[in-house]
Copies of this chain bind each other. A is one copy, B any other.
């Protein structure tokens, strides 16, 4: 498996055509090949998808904003820096502050999650497939904390052209025992793999 950053993307805003920019980027693989080919998976940080879709709003009232993006609050914690709320969004995602993000955006604004990340993934996939003539998959990611573990990892919040889960239940292991629980979240693992080559604070949002 080869994982590379898509270099040289400009700052993304609502005038950006993400698929076109990714298509024009100089993608070079360890095996010496270049560009996108059949079976490649393009992993895109949700923040730039939201920026390209114009899903950026004024950050005046953070609490109201979180409410507007949530269907319920699961946990609230008060701490030195303020209040953290773990909520469920209208997408069904459970995460801190409804995924509203104030980093790497213009002062005074925040980025919301894409309204329909699966639809965004399908649209970008279709555009990229038209541009490249290749069969591709697209994963849109967001960075999330985890219960009971320190640190954040990237997960898939929207996908097109691949399955989110690889279900091994019912298959047999090497000793003939039927697997009961083994459903691997491959889209999330792909999101995490891509995060290792992307640069959070350095503006590399696509791998």
Could you list which residues of chain A lie within 8 angstroms of chain B, going by C-beta atoms? 1-4, 11, 29-32, 74, 81, 88, 94, 102-107, 143, 146-155, 164-165, 168, 171-175, 177, 179-186, 188-190, 192-193, 195-197, 200-203
Contact = CB atoms under 8 A, between A and B. Distances in A.
Contacts of A103: 173, 177, 179, 182
Contacts of A190: 196
Given A11-B174, A146-B146, A183 B151 contact: yes
B30 A188 contact: no
Given A11-B174, A184-B200, A197-B1, A94 B148 contact: yes
A175 B186 CA distance: 33
Given A11-B174, A201-B179, A185 B106 contact: no
A59 to B, nearest CB: 11
A203 B175 CA distance: 11
Contacts of A196: 1, 186, 189-190, 193
Contacts of A3: 1-3, 193
Contact of A175 (B81, B105, B174, B192): B105
A204 to B, nearest CB: 11
Nearest to A172: B201
